Amino acid sequence: LVECFRFFEYILLYKDGVMFQIEQVTKLCSKIALTEPWDPYDIPANSTYEDQYYIGGPGDQIMVQEWSDRKPARKSESWVGVYTVKDCYPVQETYTKNSSVTTSTRFFDLQLGIADPSVFTPPSTCQAAQMRRMDDVC
């Protein structure tokens, strides 16, 4: 028995409140409503400073700061972000939604601006997309 999995590209258009799910082989497309607001990947104004340290090795280090949404009355946090001290580039963000859902995002090869804005244009197969999520398994 050989399992079959499908792979998807996702285009998230927060202003329109929609995410396009594009199957990579057939290019079939579906739409899914976005329910969460855009995350600007910044340090929110009410964040708690946690630590400052270097990442990397000898002679090749970058100083970063760690921030969270931890409040003094709470023992844990639902968000932790690590950012470079110089220019405040995101390095890693971790969100814990509940005891079984945690999302960790790592950032690399960052560039200022968007070199090709067409990456946010859904393909023509998405024009007639239905509001449903496609399954991962064939």
For residue range 80-134, list pLDDT tens digits in order.
999 999 999 999 999 888 878 888 999 999 988 999 999 999 999 999 999 999 8
Domain count, the chain: 2
Residue matched to tokens 């921030």:
67
Residue 2 located in a structural domain? no
Q: Are residues 99 and 123 in the same domain?
A: no
Residue type for 121, please? Answer: T
Q: Are residues 74 and 101 in the same domain?
A: yes
**Domain ranges, residue 56:** 48-106
Q: Is 123 left (phi over 0), alpha (psi -120 to 50) or beta?
A: beta
For residue range 1-53, list pLDDT tens digits in order.
667 788 999 999 999 999 999 999 999 999 999 998 898 888 988 899 999 99
Residue 119 located in a structural domain? yes
24 contacts 7 by C-beta, under 8 angstroms = yes
Residue matched to tokens 């197969």:
125
Give the Cα separation of 43 and 68 in Å (integer): 8
Q: Are residues 68 and 99 in the same domain?
A: yes
Give the Cα separation of 28 and 41 in Å (integer): 30
Residue 124 located in a structural domain? yes
